[in-house]
Amino acid sequence: AQQERSEQAQEESQETDHEEEEERVEGLEAVQEEIPEPEVEADESEEAEKDASKSAGSSDTEEGNQDHVGRLLVKRRQPSTQRELADAIVRFASLDELELLLSCGATVNDPVTQGLTPLHYAVWQRYTDAVQLLIRKGCDLNARDDIGYTPLHLCAEHGYLDMMQVLLRHNALVNINQSEDEDLYPIDAVDEPLRLALKHDQIEAARVLLENKADPNGRYFFGSEINLVSPLNTELLELLLKWGARPNTRDRYGFTPIMKACHVQQEAEEALEEQGTISGKDVLLHFAQTLKGIESVLVLISHGADINLRTDARHEYRSVLHYAILSGSGPIVNLLLKQGAKVNFEPEYNRASPLHLAVLKGDVNIINML
């Protein structure tokens, strides 16, 4: 019985311990439910993942940009086929090489730089075979660069007669500007090929252009062709007059060529007087210029220049004779008088007459002539 009682007590003790253990476990579980889960760690892990993805994306972008820049640099280092064509023309490459470049993408009309086309380069180099090849391929003979010059302009400026003949045979434009009749001094007129030839004393080039119907009366902002050449350059004056230049055309300041011829003499006379000391060389140069002036006046008169035309109010309505007297050139004054220059003006002319000017200058010789 005692043994049974002890065993029963032992069992009851075990059951009590078991119940207490269960209660302790349940209490721990309840405490765990009350404590929130550590969400911060999860957020930190998500942010870390995002940062990692961003850094990976940015590195990919940087690599992509570097690749793009690299491709651009390589492309920039590589010359275009148009540039290669121009370089080949400059070094007189064979026609086979030029045709190869044309078949590889170069064109006959696209500009290389500053509006210059392959034909400009070929003409500049005087590479006749290349010029003819480009013409056969259909290039524009009248293509203009950024300042409005065609290949014919280059020929005229530098006197490339051989190139000029090739271009003219293929009907290159000789007259570029199309001025309206009422526009006496066009503000936007580009120099014609003839203008460049005259400006650079390329007389033979000017002659070829005139023979091919270049306009000898082309107009610019400061006057016509004949107004823009030196009034003492008798060769150019005679060339223009022979091909139809009008001898009495006025420039923007109201001067005709014969007035300018005498006016230049006046400027030379005044410059000589301002020097103070005059050497024998100065006298000879002045004498040579006087002879040139006489020759110019004779050329202009022989082609119909009016010696009795006057300037406008800006220059006090002076005549050709006024300027001859101011120049102090007795031979020119004598020539004008023999050609019928007027010495007396209308009563209402209330400015200095030719005689007044001669008296003011104290030139007894000219006074006696008048």
pLDDT single digits (tens) 174-217: 999 876 656 788 888 899 999 999 999 999 999 999 999 999 99
**289 located within any domain:** yes
**167 located within any domain:** no
End-to-end alpha carbon distance in the chain: 182
pLDDT digits (tens, 9 = 90+) for 211-255: 999 999 999 999 999 999 999 999 999 999 999 999 999 999 999
**299 located within any domain:** yes
Q: Are 174 and 152 in contact (CB under 8 A)?
A: yes
pLDDT digits (tens, 9 = 90+) for 155-164: 999 999 999 9
pTM: 0.74
**182 located within any domain:** no
Q: How many domains does the chain have?
A: 1
**CATH number of the domain that 289 lies in?**
1.25.40.20
d(CA 263, CA 269): 10
Look at 29 and 367; give whichever has higher pLDDT: 367
**303 located within any domain:** yes
**225 located within any domain:** no
**49 located within any domain:** no
Q: Are 191 and 153 in contact (CB under 8 A)?
A: yes
Q: Helix H segments across the chain?
A: 2-34, 39-77, 81-90, 95-103, 118-124, 128-136, 151-158, 161-169, 193-199, 203-211, 225-228, 234-242, 257-274, 280-302, 320-327, 330-338, 354-361, 364-369
Residue with tokens 């022989």: 302
Residue 257 structural domain = 230-369
Judge whether residue 26 has pLDDT over 60. Answer: no
- Predicted confidence band at 107 (pLDDT cuts at 50, 70, 90)? very high
Q: Are 304 and 339 in contact (CB under 8 A)?
A: no
